[in-house]
Amino acid sequence: MGEIDRIAEPWGTRAAYGPGEFWPVRVDVRLDDGVRPADVDEWVQSATILHSNGDGLDIAVKDGRIVGVRGRADDRVNHGRLGPKDLFGYQANNSADRLTTPLVRRDGELVETDWDTAMAAVAGRTRELLAERGPSSVGFYTTGQLFLEEYYTLALIARGGIGTNHLDGNTRLCTATAAAALKETFACDGQPGSYTDVDHADVIALYGHNMAETQTVLWTRILDRLAGPNPPKILCVDPRRTPVAAAATIHLAPKPGTNVALMNAILHEIIANEWVDRDYVDRHTIGYDELAKQVADCDPEWAAAICDVPPGDIRDAARLLGTAERLLSTVLQGFYQSHQATAAAVQVNNVNLLRGMLGRPGCGILQMNGQPTAENTRECGADGDLPGFRNWANEDQVADLAKVWNVDPTQIPHYSEPTHLMQMLRYVEDGSIRFLYVSGTNPAVSLPELARVRKLLSQERLFLVVQDIFLSETAELADVVLPAATWGEKTGTFTNADRTVHLSEKAVEPPGTARADLDIFLDYARRLELTDKDGEPLVKWTDAEGAFEAWKECSAGRPCDYSGLSYEKLRGGSGIQWPCNAEHPDGTERIYTNGEFWSEPSYCESYGKDLVTGAPLDPVEYEAMNPSGKAVLKAAEYLELHEPPTSEYPYLLTTGRTLYHFHTRTKTGRVRQLQNAAPEVWVEMSPYDAELQGWDEGDLLRISTSRGSVRARLRISGIRPATLFLPFHYGYWDAPDERSARAANELTATDWDPCSKQPLFKCAAARVERIGVGNAPSPAPTTTASKPVVAGVSPTRGGTDAVVLEHFPAKGDER
Ligand SMILES: Nc1nc2c(c(=O)[nH]1)N[C@H]1C(S)=C(S)[C@@H](COP(=O)(O)OP(=O)(O)OC[C@H]3O[C@@H](n4cnc5c(=O)[nH]c(N)nc54)[C@H](O)[C@@H]3O)O[C@H]1N2
Ligand SMILES: Nc1nc2c(c(=O)[nH]1)N[C@H]1C(S)=C(S)[C@@H](COP(=O)(O)OP(=O)(O)OC[C@H]3O[C@@H](n4cnc5c(=O)[nH]c(N)nc54)[C@H](O)[C@@H]3O)O[C@H]1N2
Ligand SMILES: [Mo]
């Protein structure tokens, strides 16, 4: 047992292991000051909710209050470990400023009210609009942070009950491209890989994925492999010198937005050097010839000129991938939120397919998720999908869903793909959507072009409902605010990025009159008197377990099959990976193990799209192209950035995360250990540019695009030249004086990927000027990608305030 400052050392102590060995257990424990393990009344099973890793944990309860967390040694995902946000973040539940009672707007002010008044207003306005303007005047914008049971209920209410096509999740900003890339290649969502591939891989390639900061425990697994015998080689593709880049064998730092050019050059090299697994490609894929043709001229010199990466480095990277024996690829926002998002992410799938690296230990693709429950938003059809990965363009699958719901198939909108959020915003703007019900997301900080978003959401004619746990920037604009119970205060399940399902049990009562999101949705459905085609209540369950049982029925026979799971089965022990059914009662570690896919025309979730225009293929075209359901090698041409740098806006601005904060900081900003580690916004710039301008660490800069400007202190970091980085965490709830000059999204554009419709947060043309000389370093962390290049910046530490216990089991007792 050891004590360690986990703000200073985010990944904790190493436990080295070799290829194919068991990742040693290390149990991380954090309790409130003055609470000893013996004082804890009860440990309640759950998993982590500040990223998509799904680390099993137990919540410590004392006197009816959450007082700490402990990693679950038996969980397949984390073997006991927890990351800094989870070790300290639970304290946000106990914040004094949680919402405890509903609020309604009266004479311009939000005032406290009771539940009956608030819900009568919400249901009343819905009914009025349904009568006056029909279902398309009603829209829902949910999240990747509720539970499966809540999404499934919401999807039924919106799609099966109200009959609107306007239901999407903030997963649109997050993992829409993961889903789209999987649908393009495999004609169906569903993560091929498993986290255990880390234990076996000899090469791990991370594309636009700062795993060290965003999935800290998965990165710990890689660090432990790197510390052991026969470590894997790491490829990092990121314009910044992230901790991943620092640990990499090869780091390519392309210009933001040029991922497709880089990938095409890598594919060119793999083909030119005959590193292709011909047998796998011939038996299990279609599209090789087009792909080979597309990349034939894309040699490293061509890509080097576009990406500004040395051609020799591209060759070395291609050789690493081309000669790997067990290749694990991971992809995240550096691809998903950048130019040609889906096209780029699909090329990563192509690398693994060309090399036949799929479905075996160590050979996997992780088109990563970001949010803890984003997978469930997708599975349950609370975003741009129908429940159970059903295909909206396949009448039989829609009829099958209608049967599960006991509604008429025409009741479920499927005249087009479900409306994506960026389109919904346009409908709010033009007044065709008049009611927007926002749950578990903070669009007034997280959407692009915030000046526009504020204007849209504060319109008089829009009835805005916000269901949150704090008075967020978005809640401040609402007509009705509904206080939700959250993680630890309600029961439900959620699924991580490698298909592992966890049960999260209620540990404590919510504050005040706050209610579980599920209970609020159920109340809403009751008040709308939604019925099935026999006139019975449409929503037939009254609690979380009832919703889960109904979901099992909806998912049975579909790829994300939960029919073999139950709350009982998920209690104790480890999370379990879907598909879990009679055939696979203990779950499924890897899918696509025999080169068989879910892409058969009658079964597949998607017929695919044109990667340039986003136009969907029709069933006939798909059937002609892929009659026997193989994987699709889909080629893409590199296209110029939509907003290239100009003389007025000469820099490329990219945005993203830091290790210590989660999103708009409604939780982590209220936790002193995390907030102290990264207290204020900063901007990263290369030493080359800083020297050229004659600017120093800590100088106050103004960063502008054609949409707005933000003030931030300069951190001279390892970012590539001509590129700027802003963390997007800093909104206004704790800095009202900064109104409209702090959030990165003041600067980003209303622009999205044609295929996934995911907004492009990662490449905007920007200008920067100095507005003040600094007298101290910027407040950016030193342990992360924002590590300073100059000396004299005091290191990020938590000190005695951030001590965590690490338990390594005794020898012989490791499993
Ligand atoms: N600490 C922390 N962890 C989190 C979260 C959090 O808020 N904080 N959020 C969770 C969620 S919802 C998500 S979606 C994930 C996101 O996890 P990540 O995708 O790892 O995080 P980001 O910082 O958004 O972006 C990753 C990297 O993309 C790089 N990048 C930017 N533009 C480009 C480009 O054009 N090409 C390439 N190749 N790279 C580029 C950036 O330099 C950045 O280091 O993290 C999850 N985990
Ligand atoms: N510039 C830029 N913008 C980005 C990104 C980027 O990289 N750059 N990343 C994008 C990505 S990947 C994501 S995921 C989004 C995240 O964007 P948001 O979803 O807007 O961010 P959060 O701060 O997580 O907002 C979640 C809200 O739900 C509330 N909440 C928490 N738990 C519960 C609960 O149990 N019930 C209810 N009802 N509410 C709850 C929180 O208080 C908070 O207000 O941001 C996107 N925006
Ligand atoms: Mo995300």
Angle at 176 between CA 170 and CA 182, to 5 degrees: 155
CA 370 to centroid of ligand 2, rounded, Å: 10
Ligand nearest to the CA of 705: 2
DSSP assignment of 72-95 equals -TT-TTTTT---HHHHHHGGGGG-
Measured CA to CA, the distance from residue 102 to residue 624 in angstroms comes to 54
CA 639 to centroid of ligand 3, rounded, Å: 25
Beta bridge partners of 465: 437, 480
Residue nearest to atom 6 of ligand 1 (CA): 662
- Given this model, what pLDDT does residue 379 score? 97
**Averaged pLDDT of the chain:** 97
Token couple for 223: 């660090």
Measured CA to CA, the distance from residue 764 to residue 751 in angstroms comes to 10
Residue nearest to atom 29 of ligand 2 (CA): 440
Atom of ligand 2 nearest to the CA of 482: 38
Is 814 a residue whose pLDDT tops 70?
no
How does 767-792 read in b/e, with b if 16+ C-beta sit within 10 Å?
bbeeeeebeebbbbbbbbbbbbeeee
- Given this model, what pLDDT does residue 815 score? 53
Residue nearest to atom 30 of ligand 1 (CA): 334
What would the mean pLDDT of 227-236 be, rounded to a whole number? 98
Beta bridge partners of 431: none
Ligand nearest to the CA of 214: 1
For ligand 2, say whether the CB of 744 is within 6 Å of any of its atoms.
yes
Token couple for 758: 């995911």
Atom of ligand 1 nearest to the CA of 209: 20
For ligand 2, say whether the CB of 151 is within 6 Å of any of its atoms.
no
What would the mean pLDDT of 466-484 be, rounded to a whole number? 98
- Given this model, what pLDDT does residue 422 score? 98
- Given this model, what pLDDT does residue 654 score? 98
Helix runs in 202-329, H state only: 211-214, 216-226, 243-247, 259-272, 278-284, 288-295, 300-307, 311-322
Ligand nearest to the CA of 345: 1
For ligand 1, say whether the CB of 663 is within 6 Å of any of its atoms.
yes
For ligand 1, say whether the CB of 656 is within 6 Å of any of its atoms.
yes
What would the mean pLDDT of 706-718 be, rounded to a whole number? 98
Confidence of residue 739 (pLDDT cuts 50, 70, 90): confident
Confidence of residue 384 (pLDDT cuts 50, 70, 90): confident
Ligand nearest to the CA of 476: 2
Residues making up the chain, counted from first to last: 815
CA 600 to centroid of ligand 1, rounded, Å: 33
* Predicted confidence (pLDDT) per residue in 271-284, tens digit: 999 999 999 999 99
Confidence of residue 337 (pLDDT cuts 50, 70, 90): very high
Ligand nearest to the CA of 51: 1
Are 414 and 384 a contacting pair, CB within 8 Å?
A: no
675: Cα within 13 Å, side-chain hemisphere: 13
* Predicted confidence (pLDDT) per residue in 106-140, tens digit: 999 999 999 999 999 999 999 999 999 999 999 99
> Which of 725, 721, 723 lies closest to 710, judged by CA?
725
- Given this model, what pLDDT does residue 738 score? 87
Atom of ligand 2 nearest to the CA of 439: 38
Token couple for 562: 């939960």
CA 666 to centroid of ligand 3, rounded, Å: 15
For ligand 1, say whether the CB of 89 is within 6 Å of any of its atoms.
no
Domains in the chain, start-ordered, CATH in brackets? 103-174+384-495+529-569 (3.40.50.740), 176-368+598-632 (3.40.228.10), 651-784 (2.40.40.20)
Ligand nearest to the CA of 99: 2
Ligand nearest to the CA of 145: 2
CA dihedral 277, 282, 284, 290 (to 10 degrees): 90
> Which of 307, 303, 219, 218 lies closest to 266, judged by CA?
303
Atom of ligand 1 nearest to the CA of 175: 14
For ligand 2, say whether the CB of 224 is within 6 Å of any of its atoms.
no
> Which of 726, 667, 503, 732 lies closest to 50, judged by CA?
667
For ligand 2, say whether the CB of 173 is within 6 Å of any of its atoms.
yes
Confidence of residue 260 (pLDDT cuts 50, 70, 90): very high
DSSP summary character for residue 771:
E
Measured CA to CA, the distance from residue 218 to residue 77 in angstroms comes to 8
- Give the global pTM: 0.98
Measured CA to CA, the distance from residue 12 to residue 14 in angstroms comes to 7
Measured CA to CA, the distance from residue 636 to residue 346 in angstroms comes to 9
Helix runs in 298-449, H state only: 300-307, 311-322, 333-336, 341-354, 374-379, 395-405, 421-430, 443-446
* Predicted confidence (pLDDT) per residue in 85-110, tens digit: 999 999 999 999 999 999 999 999 99
What is the pairing mode between strands 203-207 and 327-331?
A: parallel
How does 429-462 read in b/e, with b if 16+ C-beta sit within 10 Å?
eeeebbbbbbbbbbbbbbbbbbeebbebbeeeeb
Q: Name, in order, each residue with C-beta under 8 angstroms of 161's C-beta and a sequence gap of 6 or more.
A: 525, 528, 530, 538, 539
Residue nearest to atom 28 of ligand 1 (CA): 334
Measured CA to CA, the distance from residue 346 to residue 341 in angstroms comes to 9
Q: Name, in order, each residue with C-beta under 8 angstroms of 24's C-beta and a sequence gap of 6 or more.
A: 15, 17, 79, 224, 808, 814
Atom of ligand 1 nearest to the CA of 663: 7
CA 445 to centroid of ligand 3, rounded, Å: 13
Ligand nearest to the CA of 169: 2
Residue nearest to atom 15 of ligand 1 (CA): 370
Atom of ligand 2 nearest to the CA of 726: 1
Token couple for 71: 């990693």
Residue nearest to atom 40 of ligand 2 (CA): 440
CA 332 to centroid of ligand 3, rounded, Å: 9
Number of Cβ atoms within 10 Å of the Cβ of 619 = 16
For ligand 1, say whether the CB of 242 is within 6 Å of any of its atoms.
yes
What is the pairing mode between strands 203-207 and 682-685?
A: unpaired
CA 443 to centroid of ligand 2, rounded, Å: 8
Atom of ligand 2 nearest to the CA of 664: 23
How does 92-109 read in b/e, with b if 16+ C-beta sit within 10 Å?
bbbeeebbebbbbbeeee
Pocket probe for ligand 2: among 242, 333, 449, 469, the residue whose CB has the most ligand atoms within 8 Å is 469
Pocket probe for ligand 1: among 206, 207, 214, 242, the residue whose CB has the most ligand atoms within 8 Å is 214
Residue 282: is it exposed, middle or buried by C-beta count within 10 angstroms (0-12/13-18/19+)? Answer: exposed
Measured CA to CA, the distance from residue 425 to residue 168 in angstroms comes to 11
CA 175 to centroid of ligand 3, rounded, Å: 6
For ligand 1, say whether the CB of 243 is within 6 Å of any of its atoms.
no
Is 25 a residue whose pLDDT tops 80?
yes
* Predicted confidence (pLDDT) per residue in 139-189, tens digit: 999 999 999 999 999 999 999 999 999 999 999 999 999 999 999 999 999
For ligand 2, say whether the CB of 441 is within 6 Å of any of its atoms.
yes
Ligand nearest to the CA of 658: 1
Is-cis flag, bond preceding 579, omega within 30? yes
- Given this model, what pLDDT does residue 212 score? 98
Residue nearest to atom 3 of ligand 1 (CA): 214
> Which of 813, 720, 725 lies closest to 768, judged by CA?
725
Measured CA to CA, the distance from residue 788 to residue 716 in angstroms comes to 6
CA 763 to centroid of ligand 3, rounded, Å: 17
- Given this model, what pLDDT does residue 664 score? 98
Tell me which amino acid residue 22 is.
F
Confidence of residue 1 (pLDDT cuts 50, 70, 90): confident
Atom of ligand 2 nearest to the CA of 447: 47
Measured CA to CA, the distance from residue 232 to residue 205 in angstroms comes to 10
Is 812 a residue whose pLDDT tops 80?
no
Pocket probe for ligand 2: among 146, 173, 466, the residue whose CB has the most ligand atoms within 8 Å is 173
For ligand 2, say whether the CB of 171 is within 6 Å of any of its atoms.
no
What would the mean pLDDT of 597-619 be, rounded to a whole number? 96
CA 719 to centroid of ligand 1, rounded, Å: 14
CA-to-CA separations, 743 to 166, 245, 404, in angstroms, rounded = 27, 26, 44
For ligand 1, say whether the CB of 102 is within 6 Å of any of its atoms.
no
Measured CA to CA, the distance from residue 85 to residue 51 in angstroms comes to 9
- Given this model, what pLDDT does residue 81 score? 98
